[in-house]
Chains A and B, each alone.
Chain A
Amino acid sequence: MGLSLDGPAADQVEITFIGPGYGECCLVHLGSSHWVIIDSCIGASGYPAAIEYLMDIGVDPPTSVQLIIATHWHDDHIAGLAETVRICSSAQFCCSAALSRSEFLANLAPYNERTNFSGGSGVSEIFEIMEELKATTRRNPVRALASRLVKKFEASRFAHSGDCEIWTLSPSDAQFEISLQEIGRLVPELNWTKRRMPSQRPNHLSVVTFIKIGTVSALFGADLEETTNPETGWSAIVKSTSRPQIRCQVFKIPHHGSVTGHSDDVWAQMLEAKPIAVATNYVAGRKPLPTREDIVRISALAGEFYLTSSNQSKAARKREPAVEKTIREVGKLASIASPAGFVRLRNGGSLSPDQWRAELSGLAHKK
């Protein structure tokens, strides 16, 4: 991993971002060994990266993870999530309210019926999680909605003596309805050749999370994009009067730094001046993210800006010469699987909660 393997002190807040270039995951230490996991990607040993990390630093996931949030079901956010839910047996699961609606699941479910693709159906993690929730007596899952307090911990729980609130800020009702219609258009018909669930863009259902721990606060932008409709995207969140009106010090940049996830109003109204910004790369697309323009834009707004990986295309694994030669004749084959990069932020605990120190490993770097 490359980071020190000491866990955070009981009164220390930690926010760790993991990104292998295709996939992302965030972990938050609320204090006194209470952890939250947002999304999932695969780590070096093939297990969920969040679980690997927690075990490396001596944390027991089944007892320490309190909440697992699935922001949306794109492959780069949910790989290994079902396994994470299984392992973290005392954690509550939180996802978009859409997944609690039968008509919504009914639209996705056919994609999970014997698609027989080596790489999964695109919705298999969702249904594995639902099966897990169905089979166990764990605490009820919680719906993520706009401006909803999903978890609250009293200050007495923590060595830092600050209280903790975890809010979801999306999806809004309008986002939900639009998504329902869009998903409806993807429903397969009888006798269609089976295919993988296509990604939905823009992703109206992405769950934005706000976490306040004492005087510290962070905003996790997931993949939410800005739209021209003021009732959806970031505009709907910014104008909400029922969300916490607290400016955040740490910002997980939405949608891998893409300009489609940018909102000037978020920087002006939801973040402290010059916050710490962290983006995860996305190398699986035709145009890797963030682009140079994205990096310039974010760097100008952030006090410190970190990336978890690199957009440099990585050579695919070596194969025999005849195969290599043929690949070159067809095009450029690139690897999208890299060792995960880590950006770990830890504050100064009770004495200096607003002082953050960053540690990086793998391809993670500061811009």
Chain B
Amino acid sequence: MFSDNTAIDWPIFSNGMLAPSGSQQQISEHPARTSLDWQVARRNQNSLTTDIPAEQSVSAVKNAAQPIYYVPKVASREPSERASFSPLQEWEGFVSEIGIDSFTGLLVDLTAKKKRPEEKMEFPISDLSEDDKSLLREGAIFRWSIGYQMQHGTKKRISQIVFRRLPAWTRSDFEASKRKVKEIAENVVWD
């Protein structure tokens, strides 16, 4: 365990994770600390720990009123090389119809910089991850990418469908839409 830190500079390791400044020496003394894959954890009053995504951790640490502990993640092996994806072709689509074992998507070709759906494709529902299956509904927006995945020196051609999870409707969206409708009602006079 490290001592409490409430405001410190955070060097970013090559893998994008954060580590406390001046603490590398201490880290390297732990058997598992040869890994640069660190989790930043915060102990709350009930002694529960919560993982904080790296990109959120700086503000979380700076604003934290409670003591903060930095716990190295135990790595069972050397960190694996991150897979990189190089797209050859990408579409954005929406679900227009859903059948028993497939769904139809109307696709906007992003690679060709199209602005309207000009192609359709029937996708097997079984190609979707379980998470994405739960998002399958008419109007749902997804991205279909074809490209090369590079990992461990190997190159693999893949097709990937990912359903959009964000953005979500917010209160400000509903308020803005109410304002617009009110303006229309006040300014458009019907015969």
Q: Is the CB of B121 within 8 A of A134?
A: no
Complex formed: what's the CA distance from A160 to B107 in Å?
A: 47
Complex formed: what's the CA distance from A286 to B189 in Å?
A: 40
Q: Is the CB of A193 within 8 A of B127?
A: no
Q: Is the interface of A mostly helix, strand, loop or mixed?
A: loop
Q: Is the CB of B94 within 8 A of A196?
A: yes
Produce 1/0 per residue, A283-302, CB < 8 A to B.
11110000000000000000
Query: Which of A127, A143, A189, A323 contacts B146 (CB under 8 A)?
Result: A323
Residues on the A chain within 8 Å of B121, using CB = 327, 330-334
A335 at the interface (CB under 8 A from B): yes
B89 at the interface (CB under 8 A from A): yes
Q: Tell me the smallest distance from the CB of B159 to a CB of chain A, in Å.
A: 5
Question: Which residue of A is nearest B176, CB measured?
Answer: A113
Produce 1/0 per residue, A121-143, CB < 8 A to B.
01000010011011000011111
B48 at the interface (CB under 8 A from A): no
Complex formed: what's the CA distance from A336 to B116 in Å?
A: 11
Q: Count chain B residues whose beta carbon lies closer than 8 angstroms to a beta carbon of A.
A: 62
Q: Is the CB of A336 within 8 A of B106?
A: yes
Q: Is the CB of A119 within 8 A of B181?
A: no
Q: Is the CB of B191 within 8 A of A143?
A: yes
A62 at the interface (CB under 8 A from B): no
A65 at the interface (CB under 8 A from B): no
Summed over the interface, the residue pairs from A and B with CB atoms below 8 Å come to a total of: 178
B55 at the interface (CB under 8 A from A): no
Q: Is the CB of A320 within 8 A of B185?
A: no
A243 at the interface (CB under 8 A from B): no
Q: Which of B171, B174, B187 counts the most A-chain CB atoms under 10 A from its CB? A: B174
Complex formed: what's the CA distance from A245 to B135 in Å?
A: 49
B138 at the interface (CB under 8 A from A): yes
Complex formed: what's the CA distance from A63 to B177 in Å?
A: 34
Complex formed: what's the CA distance from A21 to B185 in Å?
A: 35
Q: Is the CB of B177 within 8 A of A112?
A: yes
Complex formed: what's the CA distance from A69 to B158 in Å?
A: 46
Residues on the B chain within 8 Å of A143, using CB = 190-191
Residues on the B chain within 8 Å of A329, using CB = 159
A79 at the interface (CB under 8 A from B): yes
| Interfacial residues of chain B within 52-79, with CB under 8 A of chain A in the complex | none
B18-26, B35-43, B96-104: which lies at the A interface? Answer: B96-104
Residues on the B chain within 8 Å of A286, using CB = 97, 99, 104, 122
Produce 1/0 per residue, B162-174, CB < 8 A to A.
0011111111011
Q: Is the CB of B185 within 8 A of A117?
A: no
Q: A193-B135, A195-B139, A196-B141 are in contact. Are A140 and B190 (CB under 8 A)?
A: yes
Question: Which residue of A is nearest B87, CB measured?
Answer: A323
Q: Tell me the smallest distance from the CB of A73 to a CB of chain B, in Å.
A: 13
Q: A114-B173, A140-B190 are in contact. Are A194 and B94 (CB under 8 A)?
A: no
Q: Tell me the smallest distance from the CB of B63 to a CB of chain A, in Å.
A: 24
B184 at the interface (CB under 8 A from A): yes
Q: Is the CB of A322 within 8 A of B88?
A: yes
B16 at the interface (CB under 8 A from A): no
B124 at the interface (CB under 8 A from A): yes
Produce 1/0 per residue, B104-143, CB < 8 A to A.
1011111010111111111110010000000101111100
Q: Is the CB of B177 within 8 A of A106?
A: yes
A343 at the interface (CB under 8 A from B): no
Question: Which residue of B is nearest A94, CB measured?
Answer: B191
Query: Which of B120, B124, B157, B169 contacts A336 (CB under 8 A)?
Result: B120
Q: Tell me the smallest distance from the CB of A330 to a CB of chain B, in Å.
A: 5
Q: Is the CB of B184 within 8 A of A194?
A: no
Q: Which residues of B contact A (CB under 8 A)?
A: 88-89, 92-94, 96-97, 99, 104, 106-110, 112, 114-124, 127, 135, 137-141, 146, 148, 157-159, 164-171, 173-174, 176-178, 180-185, 187-191
13 additional A-B residue pairs with CB within 8 Å, beyond A134-B187, A320-B88: A118-B114, A127-B180, A142-B190, A193-B167, A193-B168, A317-B109, A323-B146, A330-B127, A332-B121, A333-B120, A334-B121, A336-B106, A336-B117
Q: List 8 A-B contacts (CB under 8 A).
A: A113-B176, A119-B116, A190-B169, A285-B104, A329-B159, A330-B159, A334-B121, A336-B119
A-B complex: 10 closest residue pairs judged by Cβ atoms: A109-B177, A198-B138, A337-B118, A195-B139, A113-B173, A198-B139, A196-B139, A134-B187, A118-B108, A119-B108
Q: Which residues of A contact B (CB under 8 A)?
A: 42, 75, 79, 92, 100, 102, 105-106, 109-110, 112-120, 122, 127, 130-131, 133-134, 139-143, 188-199, 283-286, 316-317, 319-320, 322-323, 325-327, 329-337
